Amino acid sequence: MLPNFLPSQVNQITDPKAIAFINSIERIALVTSLSQQPILTTYIHKGLGGTPILLLHGFDSSILEFRLLLPLLAAHNQTWAVDLLGFGFTQRQKEIKYSPHTIKIHLYEFWATLINQPIVLVGTSMGGATAIDFTLTYPEVVKSLVLINSLGYTGAPTFSKYLFPPFDFLAVEYLRQRHIFALNIGSIVANLAPEILLAIQCAMLHQEMPLWHDAMISYVKTGGYSDLANRIAQVYKPTLILWGEADDMLPSEDAEKFRQALANSQLIKLKNCGHAPQIEQPQITSQHILHFLSLHDF
């Protein structure tokens, strides 16, 4: 029986490993200063021992993007993944303004409630920007960082904060419609690889959650992490930068900018890999993370 708080479209997923991962999703009524009501927050926790690894997903995504990476890490180390505020399957509430600031507060309360010890923070794409921002605010919480094709130097277009109805709704709806289009195309292409079909299903499932449009519009209007670039060099934690060389979403120059700005960092470029190494090359990605952890877990 799949978790009943997920959209009904979850029943369309047939991959056994994906189903097992989905069945491990938990939900906590998280008390925060952001709302009078607890926020129902979804997460996964697997593995035992070692410094906790906490995985942060990218923009308009969910913990499902870690369905391949998390089990590999958890085989050696306790590993967590959480749906950030306003994203994934974590509850959205109308009274909350979704922004990097509220994401950070919610993430801290999640950490304080369930983990409450120093962590290795792993962020992919927007999750990398979240990880940097979180580390700068709560340096005592983070032992080391892993940034995977991270946002930071390339942010949201400046016009996004000036969107107004109905264009704000249409801009967000475009994100959902492109997944629907891809899924429809996939259903009529007989030779479409099953893993591609699964990736599309997982990428769009959270978009069926209540108030998805509202939260996305609220976040996009803030401009996201567009002001982060000038603060990146303030991070002093040991940092591993993993970068898919074939990334078609972020410029390759960003990888070198991170390496130069972060004094205590190492850059590893992944060949034949795009924007999502955690999905495209989970085995290699996990090996690099675990090796990095073995060097800095003290």
- Tell me the domain boundaries of the chain: 8-296
88: left (phi over 0), alpha (psi -120 to 50) or beta: left
Which is nearest to 225 in space by CA: 296, 125, 145? 125
* Euclidean distance between CA atoms 267 and 115, whole angstroms: 28
DSSP E strands in the chain: the ranges are: 26-30, 39-46, 53-56, 79-82, 119-124, 142-148, 239-244, 265-270
Q: What is the pLDDT of residue 195?
A: 80
Nearest-CA neighbor of 61 among 46, 45, 81, 80? 81
| Class of the CATH domain delimited by 8-296 | alpha beta
* Sequence-distant (≥ 6) Cβ neighbours of residue 64 within 8 angstroms: 18, 21, 22, 88, 202, 203, 205, 206
Residue 159 pLDDT: 40
Reading the block at residue 197, the tokens are 């079909």
**∠ CA 291-61-126, rounded to 5°:** 60
What pLDDT score was predicted for residue 184? 52
Contact between residue 83 and residue 107 where contact means Cβ atoms under 8 Å apart: no
Phi-psi region of 220 (alpha: psi -120 to 50; beta: other; left: phi over 0): alpha
Long-range contacts at 45-48 (CB < 8 A, ≥ 24 apart): 45/78, 45/79, 45/80, 45/114, 46/70, 46/71, 46/74, 46/78, 46/79, 47/73, 47/74, 47/75, 47/76, 47/77, 47/78, 47/79, 48/78
Q: Which residues of the chain have pLDDT under 70?
A: 1, 155-193, 298
Provide the token pair at 71.
């089990």
pLDDT digits (tens, 9 = 90+) for 127-142: 999 999 999 999 999 9
Phi, psi of 113 (to 5 degrees): -80, -40
Question: pLDDT per residue over 217-237, tens digit each?
Answer: 899 888 899 899 999 999 999
Helix ranges (DSSP H) in 232-272: 253-261
Residue with tokens 């709704």: 169
Within 33-166, residue ranges assigned H as helices are: 69-74, 100-110, 126-137
At residue 187, the pLDDT reads 52
pLDDT for residue 221: 86
Cβ distance 133 to 222 under 8 Å? no
Q: In whole angstroms, what is the distance from residue 142 CA to residue 120 CA?
A: 6
Residues 6+ apart with CB under 8 A from 181: none
Q: C-alpha angle 281/185/216, rounded to 5°?
A: 70
Task: Count how many Cα atoms sit within 13 Å of the Cα of residue 27 in the half-sphere of its side chain.
Answer: 15
CA 108 to chain centroid = 15
Q: pTM score, two decimals?
A: 0.91
Instruction: List the structure tokens of 164.
Output: 């107004």
Phi, psi of 5 (to 5 degrees): -90, 0
- Cβ proximity of 237 and 143 under 8 Å: yes
